[in-house]
Amino acid sequence: MSPGAGTPVPFPAAPGPAAAVLISPIGAPPRLVDPHEAHVSLEDQGLARGDGVFETLHVLDGTAYKLDAHLVRLGHSAGTAQLPAPSADTWREALTTALAAAGPGSRDPSADLGAEHTVKLSISRGVPGGQPWAWLTAAPVPERTFAARRTGVSVVLLERGHDPAEDTGLPWLLPGVKTLSYAVNMAAVRYAHAHGAQDAVFMTSTDHRILEGATSSVVCARLDDGAAPTLLTPEPSRGVLPGTSQARIFDAARERGWAVDYGPLYPEDLFAASAVWLTSSVRLAVPVTSMDGRPVASDPQLTRTLTDFLLGRPAR
């Protein structure tokens, strides 16, 4: 069922990058370039085929606090896709160069966590017969991201078409790899917008087991009287992309004596939860307010606590 009358409700588009750094070919020193000029060949396989990998990370007051986790996942993605990757030191140099050129970050008017940038690290196979290359872009976090944190998002549940757990032993299907080919993910978001929602959550077609958001992980909380909260997320071994934000939240929760668990989760588990979030590196912990038009419980205090867990700050 559609959750709305079909009126699209997307957030406004984000502006382009404020700074860009090329590592071309891979192994070359990082080079600052004009982000408003073209730097990609029309024959580039990353552009033409989505043949590449990427990571998006959050920078707060000049610190990329999850950089190591993103570099580990990027290295895994590149290795599985048989792509070379710049060294960690090269990425760090590129990041420092880009942030110095990007200017001041933006600030969330409702929370003011600090000066925020969104940074994207990408690797492409390059033109046919050429060499792979990489680039990094930095930009202030857009207002639409702050709006999602502030008001939450409505979502639709969409069938994935097959169980991604079946891909686990098939490396040519790139299971657990964050590729540049996000056409299906973006189609899911557009479908959500066209049906009156703001985001999408994938589930299996056979038993409707929850998998992940179109560009996020799914986390929910269960509150029992007299007990510490329990956080739950779908099983990471079931073909979903391992979430760096979800992992960081769970690590902090364990340290504070909270219980954590890994699926399986189904739609009714989310409707029965005390709160549900889509977690990702830049949006952080965004409350889900409804699914398929049905309201979902939320807890502003828990949202603040999960955000603090993610940022490595003392819980408020």
Rounded to whole angstroms, the Cα distance separating 53 from 173 reads 14
The confidence score (pLDDT) of residue 262 equals: 93
pLDDT at 240: 82
Domains in the chain: boundaries: 19-142, 152-311
- pLDDT tier at 170, thresholds 50, 70, 90: confident
Residue 78 pLDDT > 50, yes or no? yes
Contact 253, 309 (CB under 8 A): yes
Estimate to the nearest angstrom the gap between the alpha carbon of 69 and the chain centroid: 13
* Tens-digit pLDDT profile for residues 88-106: 999 999 999 999 999 999 9
181-207 mean pLDDT: 96
Q: What's the Cα-to-Cα distance from 40 to each of 59, 98, 119, 228, rounded to whole Å?
A: 25, 18, 18, 51
The predicted model scores a pTM of 0.91
Do the Cβ atoms of 59 and 119 come closer than 8 Å?
yes
pLDDT digits (tens, 9 = 90+) for 278-288: 999 999 999 99
Residue 202, strand partner residues: 158, 212
Q: If pLDDT is split at 50, 70 and 90, which confidence band does 313 have? A: confident
- Is residue 260 pLDDT above 80, yes or no? yes
Q: Which of 154-168, 250-264, 293-307 has the lowest mean pLDDT?
A: 154-168
Q: Report the pLDDT averaged over residues 160-175.
A: 84
pLDDT, one tens digit per residue, over 16-27 is 689 999 999 999
Is the separation of the CB atoms in 212 and 233 below 8 Å? no
Give the length of the chain.
Answer: 316
pLDDT of res. 169: 81
In this structure, which CATH number among 3.90.950.20, 3.40.50.150, 3.30.1360.40, 3.30.470.10 belongs to the domain 19-142?
3.30.470.10
CA contacts within 13 A on the Cβ side of 223: 9
DSSP assignment string, 57-74: EEEETTB-TTHHHHHHHH
Q: Which CATH architecture has domain 152-311?
A: Alpha-Beta Barrel (3.20)
The stretch 137-141 carries a mean pLDDT of: 97
| CATH fold match for the domains 19-142 and 152-311 | no
**Residue 7: pLDDT above 60?**
no
Q: How far is CA 295 from CA 8, 86, 316, in A?
A: 19, 45, 26
Identify the burial level of 140 via C-beta atoms within 10 angstroms of its C-beta, where 0-12 means exposed, 13-18 middle and 19 or more buried: buried
